[in-house]
Amino acid sequence: MSDPVLDFVSCPDQQGKHRMAYWSWGEPSAPHVVVCVHGLTRQGRDFDLLAQGLVASAKTANLPAIRVICPDVAGRGQSEWLKDPMAYQFAQYAGDMAVLLQTLNAQQPIKRLDWVGTSMGGVIGMLLAAQPLPTPVHRLVLNDIGPVVSWASILNMKTYVGKVGKFQSVQEAANAMLEISKGFGPHTPEEWLALSKHMVRSVEEGAFSLHYDPAIGVPVAKITQEQALAGEAALWQVYDLIQCPTLLIHGAQSELLSVSAVQEMQQRGPRVQVVTLEGVGHAPTLTHENQIDIVRRFLGLHA
């Protein structure tokens, strides 16, 4: 299967409703669902290679079929943009994902739910894993994220989030994204272009822009250091409620997640297992076979 199925779910917000897109890989009737959620300015197609790898692994290992769901969080990719820029908050995102899970469960009862979250997607995963869902999160993968987000990385986000630009080609957009994505680790030009092509949209003939709402940058620009510290304290409380087995994939050169934060995550809450990737910062793309294999093994999708 080389292409996922695109579908939508209607989610409530303070201004009414918006449509959230999600990409589906694998067997629609599979009772084992793996949800993969992307980072702040990314979109669900980031997980194409991971999703294909997980679906194929289950089949090769003669395990029950799985379904991999990769949402475009509101304001990104094929999802609708929110009317109020300040609605781009974790409470809205977690609420949207709860609606998505309800919809999937109505289509086919979910017997096992796993979550893979990169950066922002990991925070959403923590929020849901701490809740008594109808089908609780069985295994949680946090991709270079935890309760602590360094102030330096937030300051860095303020410099680029919301600046969607205008480019004459997809390659030019890919080159621009590479400049702000050094932490993703080494990729060949072909790999980087494959990761980038779903990140752009045509805005007029011969012109492209990044595929997210520039207003996502509004809440980021308003974050103060005091608010960041308060958010960190609240997230630690959430983290301490998580009981499912949890894996942290940590980029050794991550600006966002410090070694001291990782050590504290090993001593509190779910006491994460940690795999550290050398030569990578924030955040691993989970597109290379060694990274896919880390997720595969943690989820038990291997012979």
Q: What is the pTM of this model?
A: 0.97
For residue 200, pLDDT over 90 is answered with yes
Percent share of the chain, pLDDT over 70: 99
Position 302 confidence tier, pLDDT thresholds 50, 70, 90 = confident
**29-76 pLDDT, tens digit each:** 999 999 999 999 999 999 999 999 999 999 999 999 999 999 999 999
Position 204 confidence tier, pLDDT thresholds 50, 70, 90 = confident
Position 225 confidence tier, pLDDT thresholds 50, 70, 90 = very high
Position 1 confidence tier, pLDDT thresholds 50, 70, 90 = low
For residue 205, pLDDT over 70 is answered with yes
DSSP string for residues in the chain: --SPEEEEEEEEETTEEEEEEEEEEE-TT-SEEEEEE--TT--GGGGHHHHHHHHHHHHHTTPPPEEEEEEE-TTBTTSPPPSSGGG-SHHHHHHHHHHHHHHHHHHS--SEEEEEEETHHHHHHHHHHTS--SS-EEEEEEES--S---HHHHHHHHHHTT----BSSHHHHHHHHHHT-GGG----HHHHHHHHGGGEEEEETTEEEESB-GGGHHHHHH--HHHHHHHHHHHHHHHHH--S-EEEEEETT-SSS-HHHHHHHHHSTT--EEEEETT--S---S-SHHHHHHHHHHTT---
Higher-scoring residue by pLDDT: 206, 154: 154
pLDDT at position 26: 97
